[in-house]
Amino acid sequence: MKSPLGVCLVMAALFSWGCDGEDAPNHESPETDATPVDPPPGDADAGMTPSPVVPDAGWLAAAPLGPCEAPTPLGQEPLVETATLDLISATGVRPLHVTDIQRGPTPNRFYTVGAGGLFVIDYADGRLEVVGMSSSGGRGSRGFDKVEPIADGIVLLTSRNRGFSVYDTSTPENMNALGSLDIADASGLAYQAPYAYVLTHTGQLKTVDLTDPGAPTVVHTLDGLGNPWEITIIGQRAYVADNSLGLVVVDLSTAAEPALGAAVAAAGSAQDLDADGDHLFVAVGAAGVEAFSLVDPDMPASVSLTDFGASVVSVSADDGLVWGANQDAVAVADTRNPVAPLPLGIEPTDEWAMHLHADGNLAFVADWGQLVVMALDRDTPAPAASVDRQEILVVEGTSSSRLTLTNRGGAPLEIAGLSVDDPRFTLTVEKTDLAPGDSAGIELTFAEDGAPVSASLCLATNDPGTPVIQVGISSSQSGAEVGIGEIAPDFVLRDIDGNSHQLSAQRGQPVVLAYFATW
Amino acid sequence: MCPSEVSDIEFSLYRAYQARGLVVWGIASEDDVETLTTFRDQMGLTFPILFDGGGTVHSSYGQLRHDFGTRYPQDWIIGPDGRVLYFNDEYDHEAMTAIIEAHLPE
When CB atoms are compared, the residue of B24, B49, B98 closest to A512 is B24
Q: Which residues of A touch B82 (CB under 8 A)?
A: 487-488, 503-504, 507
| Cβ atoms A206, A218 nearer than 8 A | yes
User: Mind listing the pLDDT tens digit for each residue in A43-86?
Assistant: 333 333 333 333 333 332 222 223 466 554 433 456 778 888 88
Phi-psi group of A89: left, alpha or beta (phi > 0 → left; psi -120 to 50 → alpha; rest → beta)? alpha
What is the model's pTM?
Answer: 0.56
Q: Which residues of B touch A466 (CB under 8 A)?
A: 93-94
**pLDDT of B53 strictly over 90:** no
User: Mind listing the pLDDT tens digit for each residue in A346-360?
Assistant: 888 899 999 999 998
| Cβ atoms A290, A299 nearer than 8 A | no
The rounded distance, in Å, linking the Cα atoms of A502 and A405 is 36
CB-CB under 8 Å, B80 with A508? yes
Instruction: Tell me the shortest Cα–Cα distance from A388 to chain B, in angstroms.
Output: 6
The answer, for A386 touching chain B at a CB cutoff of 8 Å, is yes
User: Mind listing the pLDDT tens digit for each residue in A471-517?
Assistant: 888 775 433 333 688 778 778 888 888 888 888 888 889 999 998 88
The rounded distance, in Å, linking the Cα atoms of A215 and A209 is 8
Residues B47-58 have a mean pLDDT of 81
The answer, for B57 touching chain A at a CB cutoff of 8 Å, is yes
Q: What is the pLDDT of residue A89?
A: 82
- Least confident range from A307-316, A459-468, A470-479: namely A470-479
Q: Which residues of B touch A340 (CB under 8 A)?
A: 4, 7-8
Residues B34-39 have a mean pLDDT of 89
Residue A339, classed as helix, strand or coil, is: coil
Using 50, 70 and 90 to split pLDDT, how confident is the model at B32?
A: confident
Question: DSSP readout, A9-31?
Answer: HHHH------PPP--S--SS---
Q: What is the pLDDT of residue A13?
A: 33
Q: Give the sheet arrangement for strand A163-168, strand by strand.
A: A146-151, A154-159, A163-168, A176-181
CB-CB under 8 Å, B87 with A484? yes
Q: Which residues of A touch B69 (CB under 8 A)?
A: none
If you ran DSSP here, which 8-state letter would residue A313 be given? -
* Three-state secondary structure string covering chain B: CCHHHHHHHHHHHHHHHHHHCCEEEEEECCCCHHHHHHHHHHHCCCCCEEECCCCHHHHHHHCCCCCCCCCCCEEEEECCCCEEEEEECCCCHHHHHHHHHHCCCC
Q: How many CA atoms lie within 13 A of A367 on its CB side?
A: 26
Torsion sign across C-alpha atoms B78, B81, B82, B86: negative
User: Mind listing the pLDDT tens digit for each residue in A388-434?
Assistant: 777 787 766 667 888 889 888 888 998 888 888 888 888 888 888 99
The rounded distance, in Å, linking the Cα atoms of A497 and B47 is 11
**Pairing label, strands B49-51, B23-28:** parallel
Greater confidence, A239 or A485? Answer: A239
